[in-house]
Amino acid sequence: MSETYIDPSPANFAAFKALPRDEPIQMLNLLRYREKAEYPEGHALRGNGLTGRRAYEEYGKTSGPIFQRVGGTIVWRGAFQTMVTGPDDERWDDGFVAQYPNSGAFFEMIKDPEYQKAVVNRTAALVDSRLVRFQPGEGGSHFG
């Protein structure tokens, strides 16, 4: 993979904000961790030798209470095994689907001052990621 993504582009974030804000949303998260976390100069965890996975765990620990407070839940979580359909060189370490009662809850989370402090762990942890918004649908035993 030649391009990596940690944060949304302005255009993608504008498209996200333009969607309805009063309905439940599910966010597919795909994560690829750095071998060693990369914290900014002056951060207390810089140079501690944390792996990217461990830095992401710190992100979960520090952002989790805010995620729960806004009504977020984890719908599904899994560990990557192999690419079946897609680029041969694309791989992910972990994936999960987070559900929010609405996009307003997501905005409330990312604007929270404590969340903004916690997100440094996510940035330090990841070499690449995807965040994809879905409208929840009905489950069942059939395709289509």
What's the first-to-final CA gap in the chain, in angstroms? 30
Alpha-carbon distance of 22 to 103, in angstroms, equals 7
Segment 10-21 shows an average pLDDT of 95
Query: Is 5 among the domain residues?
Result: no
Q: How many domains is the chain partitioned into structurally?
A: 1
State pLDDT tens for residues 84-125. 999 988 999 999 999 999 999 999 999 999 999 999 999 999
Query: Is 8 among the domain residues?
Result: no
Residue pair 61/114 in contact (Cβ under 8 Å)? The answer is no
Query: Is 116 among the domain residues?
Result: yes
Predicted pLDDT of residue 114: 97
Domain containing 77: what range?
22-134
State pLDDT tens for residues 66-90. 999 999 999 999 999 999 999 988 9
CATH number of the domain that 89 lies in?
3.30.70.100
